[in-house]
A = this chain, B = another copy of it.
Amino acid sequence: MKLINIAFIVFATVFFISCNKTQQPKTDIEMKDLMIRISEIEIDSNYLEEYKCILIEEAKTSVRVEPGVISIYPMFKKDNPTQVRILEIYANRKAYKSHLETTHFLKYKSTTLKMVKSLQLLDMESIAPEMMPEMFCKLKIR
């Protein structure tokens, strides 16, 4: 009987651990407060690789340490890699303002200033906000 009990404990623990591993961190936010933006950026081709490294670092840090930064998703045009597009989603305006004051954002801004030829910020609205949690969550890295 003791062996059976141990087996149950192991079973329950395994599930407990696997649950916590597969769950994504959730941010309980109001969809109506979301701030969505597409940044259209042209980069000086002399600095392209350097810029991408700095951007990746900044985006990763922001998403990981700031609960109000939902997404900073950077892309570039296949036929013109100096044309960068970033989909940025913040929980609300306060989260965005707070993001602008972080050391990682300020570092990104100051180090990339000379690399950016043009910058346009497009404020967007989601057409189907209720779909958002389904997006990207289908992905599993391998």
User: A: which residues have CB within 8 A of B?
Assistant: 1, 4-5, 8-9, 11-12, 15-16, 18-19, 22-31, 36, 38, 52, 55-56, 59-60, 63-64, 67, 70-71, 73-79, 81, 84-85, 87, 89, 122-128, 130-142
Contact = CB atoms under 8 A, between A and B. Distances in A.
Given A24-B133, A59-B128, 16 more contacts: A8-B12, A24-B138, A25-B137, A38-B75, A56-B131, A60-B131, A63-B131, A67-B138, A70-B135, A70-B136, A75-B126, A78-B123, A78-B125, A81-B125, A84-B127, A87-B87
A50 to B, nearest CB: 13
A93 to B, nearest CB: 13
Count the copies: 2
B15 A74 contact: no
